[in-house]
Structure 1
Amino acid sequence: MARLTRAESQARTREQLVETAKLLFLRDGYSVTSLEKVADEAGYSKGAVYSNFRSKDELCLTVLDRIHDEQVALIAEALAGADGMEGLLAAFQTWAERSIGDEAWTALEVEFATNARRDPHVRAELAARDKAIRDTIAGLLTGYAERFGITLPMSADDAATALLSLGIGLGVQRAIDPTIPVNVLPDVIRIFAGVR
C-alpha cells in the first residue's frame, strides 16, 4: 500500500474529525461535545483538531455545511426523476417527510444558532449560509415559475424567505411532535403557484 502524502494524510484526518464531530454533535448535542471528545473518538490528539479548525464553532459550521450538502443531494436526487409540477411537489413532500423534523439535526441547528447570538463572527457565518440557502431556493422558484408559466405572488426572494422560515418552523414542530404532517409546505408552494 502506497504511503499517503502529507496533504492526503491531513485531508484524511480532517475528514475523520468532521465525521466524528457530526456523529457526536447529532447524538449528544453541541454544548456537551468537547473538542477533546471529538479528538479522542476520532483517534487523534486535541492538537490535530486545532491544526484543522480554529475553534469548536468552526468545526460545527463545517459539520452543518456537510449536513446541508447531504440534504441538497437528497432533494436533488428526489426531484431529478419527477415529472411536472405535481410530480415535483410529491417528490419534495417525500423528501420533507424523511428530513424535516429530524430530531438530531433540528436540535443541533437550533442549539448552535442559539449559542451564536453571543458571537458576531459566528452569527455572520450563519447569516451568510442562510442567505445562500435562500438564494438557492429563490433561484429554484424562479426557474420552476418560468418552466411552468407561473407568476409568483411575491418576489422570489421573499417567497424563499417565507418557505425557508416555514420549513424551519415545521422542522422544530416535527422534532417535538413527529405526527405533524409536512404537507403544509408543498400546499403553500401550490398556493404560491396558484394551482391549489
Structure 2
Amino acid sequence: MPRLTRAESQARTRDLLTDTAQRLFLRDGYHATSLDKVAEAAGFSKGAVYSNFRNKDELCLVVLDRLYAERIAEIGRAFSGGTLEDRFRAFEEYAEGMLGDAPRTQFEVEFALQARQNRELQADLGRRDALVVSALEQLVQSQVDEFGLTPLLPARELARTLLSLGIGLGVQRFVVQDVLPVRVLTDTVRVLLGVRREA
C-alpha cells in the first residue's frame, strides 16, 4: 500500500477528528465535549486537534456542515421520484424520525445558545442558514416546475417557512418527547404549495 502524502495524512487526521467529534457531540452534547476528549477518543494529541481546527467552535461548525448536508440530501431523496403524494409521504416519514431527534436537537440548541455570545459565530451560523435556505429553495422550485404548482409564496419564502417550522417543531418534539405530530409541517407545506391531501 503506497505511503500517504503529508496532505493526505493531514486530511485523514482531520476526518478522524471530525468523525470522533460528531460522535461525542451527539452523545454528550456541545458543552460536555472538550477538545481534550475529542483528541483522546480519536487517539491523537491535543496538538493534532489544534493543527486542524482553531478551536472547539470551528470543529463544531465542521460537524454542523456535515449534519446539514446529510439533512438536505435526505430531504432531496424524499422529494425525488414517484408522484407528488409519494414524495410528501416520504418527507413525512423522514420528518417523523428527524424532528426532535434528541442528540441532534440538544447539540444544535446548545451550540446556538453558545453563538448568542459571539458575533463571529453568529455570522458563521447565519451563512450556513442562508445556504440551507438556498438548497431548500431549489428543491421547492424543482417541485413547482415539475408538477406545475401554484404556490402561495415565492420559493425562497416557502423554503424559509419550511426551515423555521421544522426547527420550531423539532424543539417542541424534543421537549415534550415526540408527542407532537409532524403532519402540521407537511400539511402547511401542502397548503403553501397549493396541494390537496389525497383521501
- Match of residue 109 from structure 1: 108
The residue type equivalent to 2:55 in the other structure is: S
- Match of residue 185 from structure 2: 185
- Match of residue 152 from structure 1: 151
**Matched ranges for 1:1-196 at <5 A:** 1-80=1-80, 82-176=81-175, 177-196=177-196
1:156/1:77 CA distance change after superposition, 3 Å: closer
**Displacement of 1:106:** 0.8
Structure 1: stretches of 5+ with no match in the other structure: none
Q: Residues 102-152 of structure 1, C-alpha deviation per residue, up to 9 Å, x if partnerless? A: 111011111101110111111101000001111111122122112212222
**SS of alignment partner, residue 101 of structure 1:** coil
**SS of alignment partner, residue 178 of structure 1:** coil
**Displacement of 1:76:** 2.8
**Displacement of 1:79:** 3.1
Q: Residues 12-70 of structure 1, C-alpha deviation per residue, up to 9 Å, x if partnerless? A: 11011001100111111111211111101100011100100011000000001111122
The residue type equivalent to 2:186 in the other structure is: P
Question: What is the percentage of aligned positions where both structures have the same residue?
Answer: 52
Is the Cα contact below 8 Å between 2:99 and 2:170 reproduced in 1?
yes
More moved, 128-137 vs 68-77:
68-77
1:29/1:127 CA distance change after superposition, 3 Å: same
TM-score if structure 2 supplies the norm length?
0.93
TM-score if structure 1 supplies the norm length?
0.94
| Alignment partners' CA distance in 2, 1:76 and 1:146 | 15
**Displacement of 1:195:** 2.1
**SS of alignment partner, residue 41 of structure 1:** helix
Is the Cα contact below 8 Å between 2:133 and 2:163 reproduced in 1?
yes
| Alignment partners' CA distance in 2, 1:24 and 1:195 | 41
**Displacement of 1:78:** 3.2
Q: How many residues align?
A: 195
